[in-house]
């Protein structure tokens, strides 16, 4: 991942907002800053690819991974009998349509473009402020944790959370007398539904959860442990 500078946000949600603002407003300065059609088209293509990656494609892949984890749990540890478990098939998001492909390094080119743009004589602080390429962003709180709650509804545990601009959450759990934490899911879309069956059919069990923010890696700054009784 490229090193962030003092204007590009740390949080994924804020990065999408920044990229949209930059790509929407940059064409308005094309003539003032002296860019030709090819230069403008190239940098806007990089922005479109970056936005699609962060906002659509990567979350889609992660949600499929969550579905695959749940399906694997059913196949390996689900109740015997009933219908066969169907293998999930991943389908790339169809809306919005994917932009034109670009070479690797889109963010690096965007940052290099901005560095060169700031050296243009016609560039002003007002332009930089409008494009979001001047000011620094707020420092990320290393102790931040996701707001979270859990309820048992309709034969599953529903864990609601807020991403607070992060890419998603990392979910771990314990059941009954377990003392080790087990990875359950990376969830980029609220809520997380724990659909695992009871370990012993008909016997209620305690389930405990902890979450932390996830932005490509878990922060491992955990929420308080949340406990529910499932199946009772």
Q: Cα dist. 171→118, 182, 188 in Å? A: 43, 9, 11
Q: What is the pLDDT of residue 98?
A: 84
- The pLDDT of 154-172, averaged and rounded, is 90
Amino acid 101: pLDDT: 86
Banded pLDDT at 202 (limits 50, 70, 90): confident
Query: CA-to-CA distance for 35 and 6, rounded, in angstroms?
Result: 24
**Interval 1-11: pLDDT, tens:** 344 457 888 77
In the predicted structure, residue 51 carries a pLDDT above the cut 60: yes
89-126: pLDDT as tens digits: 666 666 778 888 899 999 999 999 999 999 999 999 99
- pLDDT the model gives residue 1: 36
Banded model confidence at residue 81, pLDDT cuts 50, 70, 90: low
**Mean pLDDT computed over every residue of the chain:** 86
Residue 91: per-residue pLDDT: 67
- The whole-number average pLDDT for the span 50-58 is 86
Which pLDDT belongs to residue 135?
67
| pLDDT classification of 67: cutoffs 50, 70, 90 | low
Are the C-beta atoms of 128 and 26 separated by less than 8 Å? no
**Confidence at residue 3, expressed as pLDDT on a 0 to 100 scale:** 40
- Residue % of the chain over a pLDDT of 70: 83
Can you give the pTM of this predicted structure?
A: 0.55
Domains annotated for the chain, with CATH where assigned, are: 12-131 (no CATH), 148-230 (2.60.40)
Q: Cα separation of 83 and 111, whole Å?
A: 53
232/226 Cα distance (integer angstroms): 17
């Amino acid at each position: 991942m490229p090193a962030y500078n003092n204007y590009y946000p740390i949080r994924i949600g804020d990065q999408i907002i920044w990229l949209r603002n930059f790509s929407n407003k940059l064409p308005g300065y094309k003539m003032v800053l002296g860019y030709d059609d090819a230069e403008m088209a190239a940098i806007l293509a990089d922005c479109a690819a970056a936005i699609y990656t962060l906002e659509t494609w990567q979350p889609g892949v992660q949600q499929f991974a969550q579905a695959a984890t749940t399906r694997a749990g059913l196949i390996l540890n689900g109740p015997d009998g009933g219908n066969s478990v169907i293998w999930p098939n991943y389908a790339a998001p169809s809306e919005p349509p994917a932009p034109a492909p670009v070479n690797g390094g889109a963010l690096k080119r965007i940052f290099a473009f901005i560095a060169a743009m700031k050296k243009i004589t016609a560039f002003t602080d007002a332009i930089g402020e409008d494009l979001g390429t001047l000011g620094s962003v707020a420092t990320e709180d290393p102790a931040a944790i996701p707001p979270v709650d859990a309820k048992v509804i309709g034969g599953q545990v529903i864990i609601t959370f807020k991403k607070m601009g992060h890419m998603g959450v990392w979910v771990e759990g314990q059941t009954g007398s377990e003392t080790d934490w087990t990875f359950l899911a990376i969830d980029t879309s609220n809520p997380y539904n724990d659909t695992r069956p009871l370990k012993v059919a008909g016997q209620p069990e305690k389930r405990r959860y902890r979450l932390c923010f996830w932005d490509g890696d878990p922060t491992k700054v955990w929420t308080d442990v949340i406990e529910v009784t499932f199946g009772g």
